[in-house]
Amino acid sequence: MPRGFPLFVLAFCLVIFFCWIGLTITHEDRTIDTEITIAAPPEAVWRILTDTGNYAMWNPFILTLSGTLSDGEKLHVTVRPPGDSEMDFVVRIVTITPNRELAWRGGLAVPGIFTGEHRFLLEPIGDGRTKLKQSEHFSGLLVGPLFAGMLDRTEVGFRAMNEALKARCEVRP
């Protein structure tokens, strides 16, 4: 074994430790919350939101969403935040209540590094209208400064999707 090897290992471990401490101190969870009022009842909004095979026709943010929409099932998602390239994720449904709520969770393979929980909530607000709330809570060590710009663009993507869903739901036959 080379003479300086133990010092190299110690130095490497110290660098990793201080990087971990730095990320721990600077990391912060972040939640993106958006909402929009749609002039359609929750059942109509739900029908379009869960017709994932037609996302390519109208959805500027979630390009594809495939899999079985039921509790505990895995979904394959491709998103493209404005100004970014496409990103693929595998997520798992954590909540599905027809005409009311759809939520999934996904992240990196190592827990605590980067996790997102995405949620669509439909609230009837009278006169056949629906308030759509689309949100995502991001947590983990990489959420802070490393991903701030991407998360800002993701929020813009949520808003674009909300507007596109509203336009699609409000089209009169």
d(CA 9, CA 76) in angstroms, rounded, equals: 40
- Chain-centre distance for alpha carbon 89: 9
The full set of domain ranges for the chain reads 30-169
With cut-offs at 50, 70 and 90, classify the pLDDT of residue 122.
Answer: very high
The string of pLDDT tens digits covering residues 48-82 is 999 999 999 999 999 999 999 999 999 999 999 99
pTM: predicted TM-score of the whole model, two decimal places: 0.82
Residue 144 phi/psi, 5-degree rounding, is -55, -130
Place of tokens 């009837």: 124
Looking at residue 107, what is its pLDDT?
86
Q: How far is 152 from 103, CA to CA, in rounded Å?
A: 21
Q: Identify the residue whose tokens are 């809570």.
A: 137
CA distance 93 to 14: 39
- Selected from 1.10.510.10, 3.30.530.20, 2.40.110.10, 3.30.930.10, the CATH number assigned to the domain covering 30-169 reads 3.30.530.20
